[in-house]
Structure 1
Amino acid sequence: MPHATSGDVLLVGRYLKAVEALQAQGRRVVNVVTPGDLGRLRHVPRSDLVVVGDMTSPEDVLSGLAREGHRLDSFDAVLSMREFSVVCAGVLAELGRVCGMPVHTAVALRDKYVQKRLVRAAGLPTADSRVADRAADLLDEQEAAPSFPLVLKPLAGAGSRDTHLTHTAADLATLLPTLGTGPWLAEEFVPGRELHMDGIVREGRIVFFSVSRYLDNVIDIKHGGVVGSVALHPGAHAALHAEARELATGALAALGLRDGIFHLEAFEQPDGLVFSECGGRVGGGAVRECVKAGLGIDLLDEWARAVLDLPAGTPRQSAQSYGWIHLTGPADGPLRVPDRAELLARPGCADAGIDHRPGDGPLPEPSRSSNIRLGWALMTGADEDEVARRLREVFDWFRTACSSAPLVDA
């Protein structure tokens, strides 16, 4: 990806913290957003916004730019930090011949079949998979498909939404009436603990790197699993860090991601790590906060520095361990939501946030997606076991506190 050297940046998709990271490097940012985003952007000058119906559509964005009097080649870079608009941003960058993610890389980061095919061709272990134009095709004995148990997911989804583990053909047949039209990715189920790796790559070399282990594998949200992870300190896990870095380096090269940010997942197996999937964005949850606390660098700040070809920061590895967790309420909806001060008073809580606001409707069922939450907590401790224990304790405390008072209060 050519580097942006001066001038304005077009950011596709609302992501205020990415805007702030670019502005901190002296850039004016024009943000492509949807009408539904405007309520949260009242403080942003209207001249710095382009409002479109669909931020994933190059046609919509090009039309919006024309309405506002912008030309693509007037920008120095076209970027996105949103999962669903990264391909659109890549198309626009290539069309305008400006700095941005190459289209082939953006597609590889979004389409999980293309992604796994490229990673497998590079000689890296990953799940066997195939595309089913219709989910029902997987029941056709004439069709070659991974054997059960298999995971069924959208080709370009996010947040484990519409991701299902099926153990038998009967399970799949029961699931079919609830599924959308497709196409779908069907892949073999890979057991083992799930890791995520987060970092920055510059000119094909990983310059910042963090490895974390999920408290529960993400797919386990379907059965009550929690969403959160504990960062694995490199001093205590030197061999695993080296293996994870080798896997990430090979996968990023296969996908063509040479400059920017990544969030990559893998499974631990007795004979090594198995690649799961990779995104060209900051990790969800409190990954950014966790990496900042443990490694001393801000992933979004370093992303901005990488795409703008500015000097990288200096990491400062903490001796403490850190982890984060999503906080949810009781199934019948919270009567009261604890505030941030109450969370910060819990043992080991280093940071926290409350997403729920007075007047918000009921929280969707957390089993639907890994990004459904009322709030989050970042916990610290002397070692990973203490952090994991504190994460589960604060999760249980929060759920109890949500249901213990009769008034809505956030």
Structure 2
Amino acid sequence: MRILVLNRFPLSSVRYREWIDGHELWLITSSSAVSEEAERRAAELAGFEEVVEIEAYSSSALLESHAHRLHREVAFDSVLAMSEFDLLRAARLRQDWNLPGQHPDSVIPYRDKHEMKRCLTERGIPVAEFDAVDDATGLLSFVRDSDLPVVVKPRRGASSEGVNVLRDSDELHEFLADGPLYGDHPAHLLAEKYIPNTMYNVDGIVVDGVIRVCWPSSTTSCLGFEDGANLVAAALEPDDPWCSELIGLVEAAVDALPTPATSIFHAEVFLTEDGELMLNEIGCRIGGAKVRDIIELAFGVDLVEWYVRALFSSGESRFAPPRRPMTQSGYVLVPPRPGTVSGIPPSCPVPGVAVYEPRVSSGERLGEPRSSIDCMVAIAATGSSRREVLTVLEQAAEWTENALDVR
């Protein structure tokens, strides 16, 4: 089989050549995904029939141009893509080349938040009141009918980029004055009623039509980065009173949407002040931040590796996760603060820290965080209880803030 791989992830963390046995692979990748050090770079790119690196990977149409050129030369049998920003591009290629896998009609309900919520509502999955907004009149009409506060966000955005909470008439006026609702081109936004909430993530994997892992974590607000707050998540314990209800809601959402027979999923769920669970969003891809790490720490399986192996029948039978976590896990992202990085500790001495990942380099000039996953350091931890994990994360974040030299 000849497989085209579209990749945004660091190649050090996605070993496609190792995971896919007996097939020929071509790679189109973000330049930033490849290590700069020559020996590591050579190892990461070894084994591919051809590699195309693209600088402005997420925003460049050259990706699809290169893909079509390669297909004319090679005639691919399959396209593999895992990043949220690649799902539709890969779907368009498959459809155009008449290949199996997700086509646009099954990706859009996961990628477009309006279509997602429309599909969920039709199947009785509770969501906040919502509507598509393409212009100022559309937003004002929604506010008239639903009242403030409202949330306005891109229909196909990610990582909380471009999300605006309009709490009062002054913030509405400011958004109308400076926001994207002008001109003759539709803005492709979603407006929804703001719901005060406790946030949960639910992450898992479907293999051959069966949900094999599905587990919730509590998380702080994804919009906290605007105020410089850490993003903190910790898996729920099996006896948590909301655990089974969260799992049931997300399993129903996976069933309601056109989910592939083999798929990773990442959901966000609100617990309202009235004690009602509402599905906020769900994607057919791995969660961001350190979701992949905390699932692996808790269940002993790498969802990304399992997904790739399952797609290409390459040793996926080795994965047999327990029904419940083997240990409690969680993560914290420490957002950047303005200044120049002068020193980066190579490790964190706090007991219980399992993953310590600096994401800035010495001499780098930092500004304010741009998204919920923008951070100086990402940390994952384990413990015997959720409370213990949260304590470790708090101590590790405090140590990092003091030890990381930003001036």
TM-score band by shorter chain is 0.7 to 0.9
Aligned residue number for residue 404 of structure 2: 402
> What letter is aligned with 1:126?
V
Aligned residue number for residue 206 of structure 1: 211
Within a 5 Å distance, the mapping from 1:152-163 to structure 2 comes to 152-163=152-163
Q: 1:131-161 deviations in whole A, cap 9, x for unaligned?
A: 2212x33564597653211111111111101
Question: Judging changes above 3 Å, is the alpha-carbon distance between structure 1 residues 230 and 28 closer, same or farther for their aligned structure 2 residues?
Answer: farther
Question: Judging changes above 3 Å, is the alpha-carbon distance between structure 1 residues 96 and 67 closer, same or farther for their aligned structure 2 residues?
Answer: closer
Q: 1:198-217 deviations in whole A, cap 9, x for unaligned?
A: 11113433111121110x21
Aligned residue number for residue 291 of structure 1: 295
Q: Structure 1 or 2: larger strand share?
A: 2
Aligned residue number for residue 31 of structure 1: 27
Higher mean C-alpha displacement, 196-205 vs 326-335? 326-335
Within a 5 Å distance, the mapping from 1:9-408 to structure 2 comes to 9-15=3-9, 16=11, 19-21=14-16, 23-26=18-21, 27-34=23-30, 40=36, 42-43=41-42, 44-45=45-46, 47-51=49-53, 60-68=62-70, 70=72, 74-134=75-135, 136-137=136-137, 140=140, 146-180=146-180, 182-214=187-219, 216-234=220-238, 236-237=239-240, 240-258=242-260, 259-269=262-272, 270-309=274-313, 310-311=316-317, 313-316=319-322, 317-339=324-346, 341=347, 343=348, 345-360=349-364, 362-366=365-369, 368-403=370-405
Q: Tell me how far 1:88 sits from its aligned partner.
A: 0.9
Question: Judging changes above 3 Å, is the alpha-carbon distance between structure 1 residues 141 and 329 closer, same or farther for their aligned structure 2 residues?
Answer: closer
SS for the counterpart of 2:374 is: coil
Cα distance in structure 2, aligned partners of 1:203 and 1:39: 34
Contact preservation (8 Å) 1:11, 1:29: yes
| TM-score (norm. length: structure 2) | 0.86
SS for the counterpart of 1:335 is: strand
Question: Judging changes above 3 Å, is the alpha-carbon distance between structure 1 residues 241 and 21 closer, same or farther for their aligned structure 2 residues?
Answer: farther
Q: How many residue pairs end up in the alignment?
A: 389
SS for the counterpart of 2:20 is: coil
Contact preservation (8 Å) 1:266, 1:273: yes
Contact preservation (8 Å) 1:17, 1:300: no
Contact preservation (8 Å) 1:260, 1:306: no
Contact preservation (8 Å) 1:21, 1:300: no
RMSD: 2.8
Cα distance in structure 1, aligned partners of 2:71 and 2:282: 36
Contact preservation (8 Å) 1:329, 1:403: no
Q: Tell me how far 1:176 sits from its aligned partner.
A: 3.1
Cα distance in structure 2, aligned partners of 1:11 and 1:198: 23
Q: 1:245-279 deviations in whole A, cap 9, x for unaligned?
A: 22122212222113211111101234432101011
Q: 5+ unaligned residues in a row in structure 1: which ranges?
A: 1-6
Q: 1:302-355 deviations in whole A, cap 9, x for unaligned?
A: 21133224436111455432111112354434432222x2x1x11221121112
Question: Judging changes above 3 Å, is the alpha-carbon distance between structure 1 residues 209 and 267 closer, same or farther for their aligned structure 2 residues?
Answer: same
Contact preservation (8 Å) 2:337, 2:367: no
State, as a whole percentage, how many aligned pairs show the same letter. 25
> What letter is aligned with 2:265?
F
> What letter is aligned with 1:264?
A
Contact preservation (8 Å) 2:200, 2:217: yes
Cα distance in structure 1, aligned partners of 2:360 and 2:34: 18
Cα distance in structure 1, aligned partners of 2:142 and 2:70: 53
Q: 5+ unaligned residues in a row in structure 2: which ranges?
A: 182-186
SS for the counterpart of 2:158 is: coil
Contact preservation (8 Å) 2:344, 2:362: no
Question: Judging changes above 3 Å, is the alpha-carbon distance between structure 1 residues 142 and 112 closer, same or farther for their aligned structure 2 residues?
Answer: closer
Cα distance in structure 1, aligned partners of 2:216 and 2:227: 25
Higher mean C-alpha displacement, 138-147 vs 254-263? 138-147
> What letter is aligned with 1:196?
N
Higher mean C-alpha displacement, 323-332 vs 376-385? 323-332
Cα distance in structure 2, aligned partners of 1:19 and 1:401: 30
Aligned residue number for residue 3 of structure 1: none
Cα distance in structure 2, aligned partners of 1:124 and 1:87: 24
Cα distance in structure 2, aligned partners of 1:22 and 1:212: 32
